[in-house]
Structure 1
Amino acid sequence: MGNLITYSRPNTSIYDIHPNLKTLTNWLREDIVKLYKNYIFYISKNFYISRSELRRISRHTSLEGIEEVIFTYFLKPQFKRINIMELLAGIITYAFLDWEKKIALGIQIFDFDGSKNLTEDEFFIMAKCFTYGISIMTLGNSADNEVIKFLSQSVFADRSEMTINELIMWIRHNKILYDIFQYNSPSIIKCEKIKNTRFCNLERKTVDLKKPTSYHRRIKSSFESKREENFSVIIDSKIVTKNDMILIKRRFDEISDNGYVVVENMFKILKTAGYKFEDGLNQGSNKKISFYDFLMMLFKNATRNQISRLLKFVGMGEVRRASMDDEIMEKKKKIVDPKLVSTYKMMFEKYDANKDGRVNLKELKNALKNTFTEKAIENLFEKFNKEKSEGLDLKEFVKMYAPENLEFP
């Protein structure tokens, strides 16, 4: 993520932490986990937290007493809050931990749906938070969301999920990222055991094979239970938790007739339960739909993968009715924001070195050589080169950045 950050000050890099934020370095794993657990217990349903909430989750952690300093640097003026995930990402980057343990901790925190893997949207949020967290701690300038989105799509060009081992290998082959996470890595992480002491006190024992063996049953901790309740899928920056889904499914089952409900009745009963909806939803329809179709309507910008993960929260597999699903997906398509169109065009013209109206593989490799591996660029080019021509046209180029439900005019 280091090549997604630029600096206006000379002789400054991702290793130059601001003196006022030095207290966020050299944390141990247990310190980070304590802060994260406090967040899960006391907040959990929002990434953006207030001053008072920061003070609450900082109790008995290394942040206690310096909350005002942290709030000043990590503040998002438009929200008047800080993003706790950006703070955690910055702390993990400069923690006193082996680099692989930093990655494992990152996946644990950003694995919102509890699958133990990262999906593309989770990876995007993680990459964004690490980029922003590092840039805040070093007073750098973070790349735009569109660039980070491009990174996510390139990484997931040939996969739907990323395991911890795949993430470790991906970072290991990216020198800049590897060097960043090596920061503050302990030089000695293993303690040698004294030889010949392990078995010196062993005695011969007679084992009664007829005697029943007792097993210790592990009890789920209160933290694990709380975290499981708040497993979530992030849709358009909105956190949809497992508890939310259980509530929606319960209300659906109360009024369903053979697995179908009238749209108007479903919205009414959810309103009564205090559930809030986005503007633009057709809440007065008399059409009968399934639970899957209702989720497609309720979360209009969700991908099929996100809907599938929401269904898993309530013990359902993906039950798809093609006609309804395709109809909704078609309605979901939106036109790219006009403000972004000019940005995409400028990037396209910059990448199109020979000005032939297409970005060929060589030009794409040249433009992205400092950001992605050659193999990743080739996979990305192959995925979006729909016409199998010698280069990407403007529309194909934009598709690399825009979500799947956006259409370029």
Structure 2
Amino acid sequence: MIQNPGFLLTVVAFVAVIGPLVFVHELGHYLVGRWCGVKAEAFSIGFGPEIAAWTDRRGTRWRLGALPLGGYVRFKGDMNAASQADPRWLEMPAAERAESFPAKPLWQRAAIVAAGPAINFLFAILILAAFAFVHGESRTPAVAGQVQPGSAAAAAGIVAGDRIVSLNGREMATFDDIRLFAQIRPGEPVTILIDRQGRLFEKQGRVGAVEEDDGFGNKFRIGRLGIAPGEPVIEPVSLIRAPVVAIERTGQIIRTMVETLGQIVGGGRSVKELGGPLKIAEVSGQAATLGVESFVFFMALISINLGFINLLPIPMLDGGHLLFYGVEAIQRRPVSPQVQEWAYRSGLAVLLAMMVLVTFNDLSSFGLWDRLSGLIG
């Protein structure tokens, strides 16, 4: 078993992941806001009491909060860090009102809000493009080089040399596509279309389920078909193609996240699989022990997660603001303050409930409740 990182490395690694990603996210809002002529009154990394702060010549207060679990940019005309419009913005002098966020056209407000998640995706794409350029792209054919006896593939009648054309109707272009499809569907039924020496066959099977250890003592139930690839094919990636490969990989990661979230909502997966800040901190430390490349790749994954989560249509998040702007575009007038207030309160309740849930899951994964029950018993 790989040695777990100590507490200090875990904390340092967590801050080294979350701090830059939150800064990048908020920088997206800030830069597009400036481009649209909106004054930023505060740019904060973290919440709570100020550890350090300064005010620049434009009047923006740059602050570092004691709780490094997020951040915000408060624009002129915002009532709070969640960017709710302050009703008093209409009472401002004309010059000040012109540089306030609520005064801007709908498309500019939407662009400012969307810039945060967008720059998180861009940050991840740059990292993944660099990895693709350095390491190349896996293009191993979706062909069963070997079939494990007693596996799900063997039970479905797949033999060595069969090319997997599709799984549940989804095209399998490479062997990585098979792996990504199967690993999040342990125990699920699957329709397998295979090409055997030029003839197409449809097989019915069920994805196998195995429990794996990540080397740090964490066990995961993942799906496996039980086939191994043939000779690996790694194609070099040019500097021009690298961003294309990175965008494709980002799309695959987002699709996997959407499908996994759908499984949790639909009851196919347990909500216990949701992790929060404590779990991110733990994995940050683990990634740091595996080297710089693993740590940077982990940052790319968290950046994609941060962008995706912020686009969820929950008030208080960027996606909730964009939802309001969509409604405003359709009905040609802003959502009423009363509805917004109700929505923000509901969104806050949802976020707090989610934080409690994921924190409970994190503590459970650390074995805290078992140890407490042992002490009580």
TM-score class, shorter: under 0.3
Task: Using structure 2 for the length normalisation, give the TM-score.
Answer: 0.25
